[in-house]
């Protein structure tokens, strides 16, 4: 069946069953592969996107549940020519090893900074409670988010 999703500011049509997890519609129908499969049960955050301003694990949400809602993926966070301060900070801090967790973490961090422009260490850690990183780049990621927050506050 045809469903219309509002993704990254555009109306996109998807031919998929209502129960199809949002993740597969994004990756396989819309070519937005920055959101990634990690567990299929909302436990790791690799597939995290923003739906109506909230972080959502897209592997665990049927596509029919997000019709009419505003979906944002990492592809809309910034581009190579105009990086979002979070992306720039991740590059500056070299806050990745394999990087598979990075896009989900960037989305969680964006939701945090949109709501709280000056989060302390505990607030950042707790905002990332739903995101796993297996390479152990946590320290760099926490630093990068702190630095991005500073940049966004104009410091």
Partner 1 sequence: MAQTNEVAARKLPGSLETNRRLDRWLKINSDGTVTVTPGKVEIGQGILTALVQIVAEELDIDVARIRLAPATTAYSPDEGITSGSRSIQDSGLALRHAAAEVRGLLLEEAARKLDVTLEQLTVTDGVVSARSGGSVPYWELATPELLARESSVDVSAKMPAEHVVVGTSLSRVDIPGKVTGKPSYVQDMKLPGMLHGRVSRPPGPRARLKSLNAKEVEQMPGVVAVVRDGSFLGVVAEREEQAIRAERRLARIAEWTQGEDLPNNDPRNLLKLKAETEVISEKGDASVKGTQQLKAEYTKPYIAHASLAPSCAIAHWVSDAKSGAKVRIWTHSQGIYPLRGDMAQVLGLPESDIVITHAEGAGCYGHNAADDVTLDAVLLARAVPGKPVRLQWMREDEFGWEPFSSPMVMHMSAALDDKGSIVNWGHELWSHAHSTRPGGKGGVNLLAAWHLEKPFPAAKPGNPPLPGGGSHRNAIPLYEFPNQKVTNHLIRESPLRTSALRALGGFANAFAIECFMDELAEAAGADPVEFRLRHLKDARAKAVIEKVVKMAKWQPNEKGDGERGRGVSFARYKNLAAYIAVIAEVRVEEEVRVTRLWGAVDVGQAINPDGVLNQIEGGMIQSASMALKERIDFDSVGVTTRTWNEYPILSFVEVPEIEVALINRPEAPPVGAGEGTQGPVAAAIGNAIYNALGARLRDMPFTRDRIVAALST
What is the torsional sign of CA 120, 121, 124, 130? negative
Q: How far is the CB of 114 from partner 1 (least distance, A)?
A: 18
Stretch that binds partner 1, among 50-58, 64-72, 112-120, 130-138 (CB under 8 A): 130-138
Stretch that binds partner 1, among 12-20, 64-72, 110-118, 146-154 (CB under 8 A): 12-20
Residue 58 DSSP SS3: helix
Site string for partner 1, 75-114 (x = CB under 8 A): x-xxxx--x--xx--xx--x-xxxxxxxx--x--------
Number of residues that bind partner 1 (CB under 8 A): 61
Alpha carbon distances (Å) from 11 to 103, 106, 121: 22, 23, 37
Dmax over CA atoms of the chain, in Å, equals 49
């Amino acid at each position: 069946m045809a469903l219309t999703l509002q993704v990254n500011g555009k109306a996109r049509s998807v031919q998929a069953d209502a129960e199809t997890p949002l993740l597969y519609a994004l990756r396989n129908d819309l070519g937005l592969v920055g959101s990634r499969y990690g567990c299929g049960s909302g436990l790791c955050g690799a597939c995290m996107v923003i739906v109506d301003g909230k972080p959502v694990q897209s592997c665990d949400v049927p596509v029919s549940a997000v019709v009419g809602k505003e979906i944002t993926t990492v592809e809309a966070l910034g581009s190579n020519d105009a990086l979002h301060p979070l992306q720039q900070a991740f590059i500056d801090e070299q806050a990745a090893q394999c990087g598979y967790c990075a896009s989900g973490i960037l989305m969680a961090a964006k939701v945090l900074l949109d709501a709280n422009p000056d989060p302390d260490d505990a607030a950042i850690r707790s905002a990332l409670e739903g995101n796993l990183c297996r390479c152990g780049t946590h320290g760099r990621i926490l630093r990068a988010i702190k630095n991005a927050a500073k940049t966004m506050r104009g410091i």
